[in-house]
Structure 1
Amino acid sequence: MLEVNAQAQKSETLIYNFKINNKLPIYQFHLKLPTSEEDSGISIKVFGKNSYSFVQEIITDTDLSYEEFRKNKTEYFSAVDYNFDGYLDIKLVSVIASGLERYEVWLFNSKTKRFDFNKEISDLSTPIPNFQTRQIDTSDTSSAGAEHYYESYAFKHGKLYLIKSDQQTARPGKNGQIIYVTKIVRERRFGKMKIVCEASFDLESRVTLLKGVLSKCGDFVSK
């Protein structure tokens, strides 16, 4: 369902071809990148019917350089179905940091045949669609590996709702070594987020259940 063809043009424009849906013609995207450190603006011109019909122009910003895009052109701009409606949406990497990535995401509108910016998904940390659960999974991890924050979201009537969160924090000692980690897992129950497990884990592999059911906490990660 996805057809990609990225190439450089006039040293500042990359061209992508995405098959958004089998019933639609291939969409072509002309990505004009910033050519200096002072310029962070990106222009995305969208064409339908194999570049014969102009659809829209998207103007946005990125923290990434032109050279970074050239090296990773098929990773930094791509198409994926975020809302599980059978149409591919587009995402642009805007931030890459230790333990997370952020994307600018535009959802395909099957009525207008255009792409609409979605702030809810764009505000998430490393959002990845899970096609088995039909949910969007996010992750934010520290460089140490012992801390993380995972979330899962689901669409309902076009709106994104938090379904589950998994937060693990670490307490370091005087020498910087981790003394213990604490994990809190919440799930949506009857319209509200509830703690289903809260537990701690020390260096001697002792687990202390503070609240809820221990199996809901899953595995602890310590490094």
Structure 2
Amino acid sequence: MRKVISIIQIICILTVFSAGSVFSAVAEKTRRLNQEALVLLQKGKLIESILLWEQIPKSERTAEISNNIGYAYYKRSRQYFDGKYGIHSYLNEDYVKAKMSFIDSEKMDPKRWSVYLNHGDLDFYFGLLDGAKKNYEKLLKLNPNYKYSEKIITTIKLIERETRLASKNDFEPFIVEIHPSLPLYIFRIYRNPEHIDVLKDNDTSVIQSLIAEQDIEESNILLSADINFDGYMDVAILEFTGSGHNYGYCYWLFNKNSGEFEQTVNDKTELNHEIVSPYIDYVGKKLSTSWSGSDHQSTSYYNYKGGKFVNTENINIHYLRNIDGDKYRKIIKTNVNGKMKVISDKIFDDPDEAFSNTQKKSNK
């Protein structure tokens, strides 16, 4: 009987030891992946760091890891701009993943002040002022001695002021950091009459008014993006809308010398009207634009050279309706010595093959 008990005890000990070894191995792998991802993040390799973090199962993620993942997705969301969705943050994949990661981190460790800083920055960047304010307030409550607390307090007061005035004067506030060295810029979007007043930080005087030609009820009437890659945020005002996410904008580029925005001239910059629903790749300094109709889809690519956008490639796909089955004609043009030249003209039976390589989004 004693031998049987001893054998059972040995089996139990071995089972516990085995389970402990497995747990230890999983924990070590999680720790290693997190450290390797952090190193890549510090080197600016966002895609690579995210791929490593995504290897960690959600059940194994700590508050720190979830915060790190959220921060990486937030940083990646700032590497490109998608004019199809604009400030529709709930349609931005990186925004959603960042926000969910921050929420997970907050649930696991409600006293981790850094997650509220990152969460606040995310909401502020996407124009969600109420969310930014709440997260910044939690940050200061947990860490009142945060080294940039003065800047955070100023931002909170600015949000409170604009929110209060907006309720009385029927405008929608939008606050943008044009450049870290400059005061925050405030855009007051009025619906009657339709215009946008521009102010600086705590200065209550209007420095400029921008005209909105499109119905200002559109939620992405105003977008902020560094359109000409000079390190300063510019703005785009919605000019027309069409089916299939076809959004046309009037572009206003920031002039760092005057501190104001200058409307682009079409024949000089090739921005207005031609660039619809822009997709901007800040890393590669490239811009693409796409539009679609009932029988076609077109995508154009631009490089920024010599102070202007140069059209480098156009891809047009025409739908050929046929009772025997639809076909797709794909025409590719490229810039040869300043002129667009057809380099490929093919017909495809398979839509996946026809539409491949029509969206060159380096960070997606």
TM-score interval for Structure 1 and Structure 2 normalised by the shorter chain: 0.7 to 0.9
Q: Deviations over 1:22-74 (max 9, x none)?
A: 0100011111114xxxxxx5211111133445321122311x353xx4xx3xx
Note the 1:82-121 alignment, pairs <5 A: 82-99=227-244, 100-118=246-264, 119=266, 120-121=270-271
Q: Tell me which of 207, 223, 230 is aligned to 1:78.
A: 223
Q: Tell me which of 13, 22, 26 is aligned to 2:184.
A: 26
State yes or no: 1:185 paired with 2:332.
yes
Q: Residues of 2 paired with 1:32 and 1:65: CA distance?
A: 8
Residue matched to 2:316: 167
Residue matched to 1:47: 199
State the one-letter code of the partner of 1:108.
F
State the one-letter code of the partner of 2:329.
T
Q: Tell me which of 151, 154, 165 is aligned to 2:303.
A: 154
Query: 1:138, CA displacement in angstroms?
Result: 0.3
- Count of residue pairs the alignment pairs up: 192
Q: Residues of 2 paired with 1:50 and 1:166: CA distance?
A: 47
State yes or no: 1:129 paired with 2:280.
yes
Q: Measured at CA, do residues 198 and 139 of structure 1 come closer, stay the same or move farther in structure 2, by a change above 3 Å?
A: same
Residue matched to 1:214: none
Q: Residues of 2 paired with 1:178 and 1:168: CA distance?
A: 16
Q: Residues of 2 paired with 1:83 and 1:178: CA distance?
A: 43
* Identity score, percent: 24
Q: Measured at CA, do residues 22 and 115 of structure 1 come closer, stay the same or move farther in structure 2, by a change above 3 Å?
A: same
Counterpart contact for 2:175–2:187, Cα < 8 Å: yes
Q: Tell me which of 216, 219, 223 is aligned to 2:353.
A: 219
Counterpart contact for 1:153–1:162, Cα < 8 Å: yes
Q: Residues of 2 paired with 1:198 and 1:47: CA distance?
A: 51
Scaled by the length of structure 1, what TM-score is found?
0.75
Scaled by the length of structure 2, what TM-score is found?
0.48
Q: Tell me which of 345, 352, 362 is aligned to 1:198.
A: 345
Q: Residues of 2 paired with 1:161 and 1:192: CA distance?
A: 11
State yes or no: 1:139 paired with 2:290.
yes
Query: 1:200, CA displacement in angstroms?
Result: 0.7
Counterpart contact for 1:27–1:51, Cα < 8 Å: no
Query: 1:19, CA displacement in angstroms?
Result: 0.6
Q: Measured at CA, do residues 17 and 94 of structure 1 come closer, stay the same or move farther in structure 2, by a change above 3 Å?
A: same
**Higher Cα radius of gyration:** 2
Note the 1:54-65 alignment, pairs <5 A: 54-62=206-214, 64=215
Superposition CA RMSD, Å: 2.7
What secondary structure sits across from 1:9 in the alignment? helix
State the one-letter code of the partner of 2:259.
K
Q: Residues of 1 paired with 2:308 and 2:354: CA distance?
A: 32
State yes or no: 1:14 paired with 2:148.
no
4+ residue stretches of structure 1 with deviation over 4 A? none
Counterpart contact for 1:121–1:127, Cα < 8 Å: no
Query: 1:114, CA displacement in angstroms?
Result: 0.6
Higher helix share: 2
Query: 1:198, CA displacement in angstroms?
Result: 1.3
State the one-letter code of the partner of 2:188.
H
Query: 1:164, CA displacement in angstroms?
Result: 0.8
Counterpart contact for 1:186–1:193, Cα < 8 Å: yes
Counterpart contact for 1:30–1:44, Cα < 8 Å: yes
Query: 1:178, CA displacement in angstroms?
Result: 5.2
Query: 1:11, CA displacement in angstroms?
Result: 6.1
Unaligned runs of 5+ in 2: 1-120, 130-161, 357-364
Higher strand share: 1
State the one-letter code of the partner of 1:96.
T
Q: Measured at CA, do residues 196 and 106 of structure 1 come closer, stay the same or move farther in structure 2, by a change above 3 Å?
A: same
